[in-house]
Amino acid sequence: MELPQAPQGDGKFAGWFCDGKEAEDDQILNDDKEFYAVFRQDIKDARISDIPASCYNGTEIKPTFTVKYQDELLTENADYTVSWKNNVNIGTATAVITGIGKFFGTKEISYVIEAHRWNGPMKTVKEPTALVYGRAERKCTVCGKTESKQLAKLSPKMKVNVSSIVLKTGQSTTKVKVTGLAKGDRIASWTSGNNKIVTVNSSGKIRAGKKTGNAKISVKLQSGLQKQIAVKVQKTPVKTTKIQGIQKKIRLRKKKSCTLVPQILPITSVEKITFTSSNKKVATVTSKGKVTAKKKGTAVITVKSGKIKVKCKITVR
């Protein structure tokens, strides 16, 4: 018996099948074999989820989406295949869905490829330090991509209050100060170029040995920046050679006060500082340099260390 004509059914008649294979036109109908009609559905009737805009990245943009026929979620490469058109450059791209298996036909859906739309200029999210790189970021409002760039480490810097010091044998000092470091930097080490002349501990305390001579103290930062302080060790006590930081003239109102802060050079001088007033009825001064105005007039404050003197004229109004 020959195969019957195409029957009526839901969808497009795809043919008669037997044992999972399409029957041939001249195939004989046997009682022991079951033949059945297969109908395929048009993929155009499927519903495809919206494809949001994508951003250009120089490569093919292949967004994900879902395909449903009635309430059935279809499977790619089982129910349909996808090919792409114009999906690299900025503009309108197309996904072409081709039915396979129990589906036939094609359906196209368009989507947009556009340039990134950043949420503003780069903003620093991690501050750089002398030891660590920083980071700045901005975010695309379309695809959510975060773009970042590395921020350079801060340039290391260091200030040392002296370039050289003088010490008597056996004398120690903590008056060498390191300041002005870049953010995140720190002192890594203090070292002496000649421990027989002078030593230094991890806190920067410098101590002269029993021998006279010259040596260098090195202070090194974690960033690698390094500076040296020249040290001279002598047998005699270190004497004051200069007093600085004292104004020549100061005006004060009655009962007001100010403090004189002299800077003694060299900083390792062992000679004490004294303060005296030429007229205590007009202005007094304490051993710490605090000047207090008493009554109208003038007085001279003398600052002395060893044989070095400087004077400051106080005028009380």
Digit-coded pLDDT (tens) for 164-180: 999 999 999 999 999 99
Identify the band that residue 41 occupies on the pLDDT scale cut at 50, 70 and 90: confident
Look at residue 274 in the predicted model and tell me its pLDDT: 97
Interstrand relation of 257-259 and 187-192 (parallel, antiparallel or unpaired): unpaired
Contact assessment for residue 68 and residue 50, using Cβ atoms and an 8 Å cutoff: no
Look at residue 268 in the predicted model and tell me its pLDDT: 97
- CA-nearest of 239, 231, 236, 156 to 200 is 231
Residue predicted with more confidence, 20 or 46: 46
Indicate the residue type of 250.
Answer: I
CA 98 to chain centre: 50
pLDDT reading at 8 higher than 90 = no
Mean pLDDT for 250-273 is 96
Quick one: what percent of the chain has pLDDT higher than 90? 84
